[in-house]
Amino acid sequence: MEVGTILWREFIFFKRKAFKITAGAIMSPLLYLIAFGWGLGDGVVVEGHSYIYFIIPGIIALSTMNTSFNAVAIRITVAKLHEKSFEYYMTAPVKMYLLTLGYILAGALRGLYAGFIILAVSCVFGVYIHFNIAFILVCFLNSMLFAAFGYTAAMIIDNHYDMNRFATFVITPMTFLCGTFFSLNKMPITVKKIIMLLPLTHVTQSLREIALADKVNYVSILVLIIYFVILFAMGVYVSYKEIK
């Protein structure tokens, strides 16, 4: 019941803010495509593919990460710090794991929506990449795990400055280091091994393999599932800790 209630409430919120949400989801990817796609042109080849085809899966990975994380983190932060409405959930007879799952699913669906917007924008640019059920699954797993991370982060922090630190030290490094805009093949081996521990790296590489080579990396999918389970468990744990 808690899951359905939260999803319905978020759907009503989305309907009211659909234009602003869509415009926000389009702006950054559109700038990336213009700057890196048109700016660098078709003459740049990375890993045997035109750069614009190489970068689109990375932009989708980046957009689903940012959208799902922010959708949950901002909503919970506002409810906790400003509206003080989240306290009612804490005292109400609700199952916290269902409440956590509801917020995460709502954020993940927003992330998935952002991913489809990028696909539509890329078609406007005349770039049609291959995608299938596995492609959508990877996007959804990425959205789920970063929505879970956003929920956990929002439950832990006590002010907006702490949330900015999460973005600065976690989200921003993954944005630029996880192979979103460049190939990891030229990175030093030690650095590459560290980067491979980050979830966005597996998302980016999985989406590229599906889009450019029609191959599914099941190891990366397993890694994403493990990340989600851990982050979901952490979210449930901090929720129950807040009650106490």
- Does the pLDDT value for residue 155 go beyond 60? yes
End-to-end CA distance of the chain: 23
Q: Report how far residue 165's alpha carbon sits from residue 174's, in angstroms, rounded to the nearest whole number.
A: 14
Q: Which of 99-108, 160-169, 192-201, 212-221 shows the lowest mean pLDDT across its residues?
A: 160-169
Highest-confidence range of 74-78, 89-93, 208-212, by mean pLDDT? Answer: 208-212
Place of tokens 């400055």: 161
How confident is the model over 100-113, as pLDDT tens digits? 899 999 999 999 99
Q: What is the DSSP letter of 47?
A: T
- Does the pLDDT value for residue 187 go beyond 60? yes
More confident residue, 88 or 63: 63
Place of tokens 């492609």: 135
Question: pLDDT band at residue 3, thresholds of 50, 70 and 90?
Answer: confident
Q: Can you tell me the mean pLDDT for 141-145? A: 96
Burial (CB < 10 A; 0-12, 13-18, 19+), residue 61, is: buried
Q: What is the mean pLDDT of the chain?
A: 86
Question: pLDDT band at residue 244, thresholds of 50, 70 and 90?
Answer: low
Q: Is 0.95 surpassed by the pTM of this model?
A: no
* DSSP, residue by residue, 72-104: HHHHHHHIIIII--HHHHHHSS--HHHHHHHHH
Question: pLDDT band at residue 210, thresholds of 50, 70 and 90?
Answer: very high
pLDDT value for 17 = 84
- Does the pLDDT value for residue 182 go beyond 80? yes
Q: Report how far residue 130's alpha carbon sits from residue 210's, in angstroms, rounded to the nearest whole number.
A: 7
Q: How far is CA 207 from the centre of its chain?
A: 13
Give me 164's structure tokens.
């900015």
pLDDT value for 24 = 79
Nearest CA to 200 out of 93, 87, 57 is that of 57
Burial (CB < 10 A; 0-12, 13-18, 19+), residue 92, is: exposed
pLDDT value for 92 = 62
- Listed in order, strand segments (DSSP E) in the chain are 45-46, 49-50
Question: pLDDT band at residue 168, thresholds of 50, 70 and 90?
Answer: confident
How confident is the model over 38-70, as pLDDT tens digits? 666 566 778 878 888 888 999 999 999 999 999
Q: Report how far residue 220's alpha carbon sits from residue 74's, in angstroms, rounded to the nearest whole number.
A: 28
Q: Report how far residue 128's alpha carbon sits from residue 9's, in angstroms, rounded to the nearest whole number.
A: 34
- For the chain, what are the domain ranges? 2-243
Percent of the chain with pLDDT over 90: 41
Angle formed by the axes of helices 218-243 and 199-213, nearest 10°:
150
More confident residue, 3 or 38: 3
- 182 dihedral zone (left: phi>0; alpha: psi -120 to 50; beta): beta
